[in-house]
Amino acid sequence: MLIRIDPASDVALFEQIAGSIRASTITGTLAIGERLPSARDLAEALDINVHTVLRAYQVLRDEGLVDLRPGRGAIVTARASGDYDALNAAVSTVIAEARKLEIAPSALAALIRETYQ
């Protein structure tokens, strides 16, 4: 699973992490039963506070996307894998169009975020 965070962004770090993980479950790179890295491990990897990662994992647990058990870590649940084929195809189309128009990834992301909200 690929995680991107931008400390300069307006979006809270834990929300950025949760967003990256949600995206990975949608594209299918995080399959059902896949174990997420331990919170400590991910915190070290991104050089952030472990509580930030834990908060992200708790958000995902509350959404039912992961199972969070002490000692077992966070495991992706069946809930996380819906039928996302159409969505993934639509995303590819949007990205292809954005590339054609030479729109930067950050601009595209901002566009989607603002339209969605």
Binding site for other proteins (CB under 8 A): 1-8, 29, 34-37, 41-42, 44-47, 105-106
Could you tell me the smallest distance in angstroms from the CB atom of residue 37 to other proteins?
5
Our CB check for other proteins shows the closer of 2 and 112 to be 2
Our CB check for other proteins shows the closer of 44 and 63 to be 44
Task: Please state, in angstroms and rounded to a whole number, the distance separating the CA atoms of residues 34 and 46.
Answer: 20
Our CB check for other proteins shows the closer of 30 and 59 to be 30
- Nearest to residue 81, comparing CAs of 30, 117, 47, 36? 30
Could you tell me the smallest distance in angstroms from the CB atom of residue 27 to other proteins?
9
Could you tell me the smallest distance in angstroms from the CB atom of residue 48 to other proteins?
8
- Nearest to residue 23, comparing CAs of 49, 9, 4? 4
What the block records as the tokens of 52 is 């930030």
Q: Which long-range contacts (CB under 8 A, 24 or more apart) does 111-116 make?
A: none
